[in-house]
Amino acid sequence: MKLLEHQAKAHLAGCGVRIPRGRVARTPDEARRAAEEIGGPVMIKAQILAGGRGKAGGVLRAASSTEVEPLARRLLGQRLVTSQTGPEGRLVRTVLVEEACQVDREYYLGLAVDRMNEAVVLSVSPTNGTEIEALAAENPALIFREAADPLAGLQPFQARRAASALGFQGETFKQAVHMILAMERAFMSADAESVEVNPLALTREAFLTALDAKLVLDPNALARHPDLARLQDPAEASPLEARAAKSNLNYIKLPGTIGWMANGAGLAMATMDMIQAAAGGPADFLEIGDRADAGVLTEALQILASDPEVKVVLVNIFAAHAPCETVAAGLVRAVQAAPLRVPVVVRLAGLNAEEGRRILRTAGQDVIVAVDMFEAAAKAVALSRGRTPAT
């Protein structure tokens, strides 16, 4: 679960992270009044769950409160298209009106769960943090990392090493250590998956300030944090995400051309790996859990096929709670009830798999049957590229 910028900043501020003074506004008039309270130049920032807002015109500067209302009107009620939203963009319902800081230098600061190292890892960079992903790929030496102990957490000496790596001295060194430890408190107290301050600004007044913040929460831990769970706004989800959530389906949008469905997170991840091993581009991921009846399968297929970027759907089901012929019959009914605009590749495994495959072959030419995972992935990749798959 992602939080909006102003929500993430509120949580960070509660843990001791310095943020600019700001207020959320839902109308141009509210934005003007917020700017009057803050005084001086302000930033007007579109609040959507996507990055790249600045480059897309979603962050505007007003020299005084008199400029705020027309600028806020340019954002509120409009769809902002960024590098992360897709062509449909996201509707701007609120803006954050925030004091404009005079910045001497910008840095990057973040914590995330690193599953490879089985630890929470602190990452900092002494360079401008706006292109941190490209920086990490092109010049990893500019990213300094510290892994926190799973039981003891991030230690003060590690925060001091990170502050030193950023080049801080004197009072700003103390501020950096304080902010890093405050960030870890914010991370742990929310059961977060990741938290970022990007950019972290050193202002001309020599204050370290979080100019932007992102906080991603572990959805499995939301029951422990009802105050944070209430911040989730269904309107911020994409139409397909909202549709999947309504049916209690786990759906994640990815930038590929092969949508895939599986029953179980492990099988879903293995399916994605197999698609990539076959040189394909995995797109929308949908996990249906232990439900494989015709109604669930129909809705899942429709969600995947509704994405205009998807050119083929790959279904990978291990029939553990029902025999394969039951799952196959449900898939046939799903395809016949609502014809899809894309072909479907199906791989079934489990009890009576051969009988399940026989039933699937009666569904028509748009359903392609595969015996194993790699065959299924290879056929899906071929179809995604407009080729006829090998039989």
Q: Just list the catalytic residues.
A: 108, 196
b/e sequence 231-249, b meaning 16+ C-beta within 10 Å:
bbeeebbbebbebbeeeeb
b/e sequence 310-319, b meaning 16+ C-beta within 10 Å:
bbbbbbbbbb
Through-space distance between the first and last CA atoms of the chain, rounded to whole angstroms: 42
Is 73 within 8 Å of 28 (Cβ atoms)? yes
Angle at CA of residue 97, ends 175 and 48, nearest 5°: 95
The SS3 call for residue 322 is coil
Helices and strands in the chain, H and E counts: 13, 18
Q: Which residue has the tokens 């990392």?
A: 145
Rounded-to-integer distance, Cα 350 and Cα 321, Å: 10
Q: Which residue has the tokens 């831990």?
A: 221
Residue-level length of the chain: 391
- Residues near 216 by beta carbon (within 8 Å), at least 6 away in sequence: 1, 2, 3, 192, 193, 194, 195
